A and B are shown apart, each in its own frame.
Chain A
């Protein structure tokens, strides 16, 4: 079946511009996560959505980062006034478990380069 999809796969933007990254989770998955992976670094948690609950935004690095999830499905991660340190691969994952723990299925990621 269809896995998690993300778009665009690559994005090059100038410093100071805003970018939007999109994630389509696996159908029926109630939980959706955003992570980012900088070169040579581990995955860093950004934000988590679970059903209709308020999202866990504890990993967002600054107020330039925001995310929304419409209709419990598609999610958009927005980075305003991008900086060079925002360059990374942004990964989205979804999970079908209702409980606090569930295997997370990752999308292919969006490689963001800020010049």
Chain B
């Protein structure tokens, strides 16, 4: 079956670093995506990993281990505007449809 797990909620302090984990079990794998979704808005693309390792993009980094079925999103120098839901999604090998986890609601406190 298809299963993607991530924590439901996380809280962190402004200026700190937070790591959001995602584990997956899917029938196919053609890459892992992270999206950010502010309340009432559309998801926006953050990162894409298809090979093992770390991808860095400014304050955000994403890591993938295909053998472990594991990824994390690392957010540095947290800002209040980073409060949002972070969605982990896997692209299966059937045309690129995304299988999403339930999302992690991140609250950044002053």
Residues of A with Cβ closer than 8 Å to B?
Answer: 4, 31, 33, 35, 40-45, 48, 50, 56, 58-59, 91, 95, 97, 99-109
Distance in angstroms between the alpha carbons of A102 and B99 in the assembled complex: 14
Contact of A48 among B50, B89, B96, B100 (CB under 8 A): B96
Q: Are B45 and A103 in touch, CB under 8 angstroms?
A: yes
* Docked CA distance A59–B99 (Å): 10
Q: Would B91 and A42 count as touching, CB distance under 8 A?
A: no
Asked whether A43 and B43 contact (CB < 8 A) given A101-B30, A101-B91, A103-B48, the answer is: yes
Main secondary structure, interface of A, reads loop
Q: Which of B24-61 contact A (CB under 8 A)?
A: 30-31, 33, 35, 41-45, 48, 50
The answer, among B30, B33, B42, B93, for a CB contact under 8 Å with A107, is: B42
- Given the known interface contacts A42-B87, A101-B50, the answer about A33 and B98 at a Cβ–Cβ threshold of 8 Å is yes
- Residues of chain A with a CB closer than 8 A to B96's CB: 31, 48, 50, 95, 97, 99-102, 104
Give the residue of B31, B45, B87, B94 whose beta carbon is less than 8 angstroms from that of A43: B87
Give A6's nearest chain B residue, CB to CB. Answer: B42
20 A-B pairs with C-beta separation under 8 A: A31-B96, A33-B97, A42-B100, A43-B43, A43-B100, A44-B100, A45-B98, A45-B100, A48-B97, A91-B43, A100-B91, A100-B93, A101-B30, A101-B31, A102-B96, A104-B45, A105-B45, A106-B35, A108-B42, A109-B42
Residues of chain B whose beta carbon lies under 8 Å from any beta carbon of chain A = 4, 30-31, 33, 35, 41-45, 48, 50, 87, 89, 91, 93-103
A41 touches B44 (CB 8 A): no
* Cβ contacts under 8 Å, B50 to chain A: 101
The answer to whether A56 touches B42 (Cβ under 8 A) is no
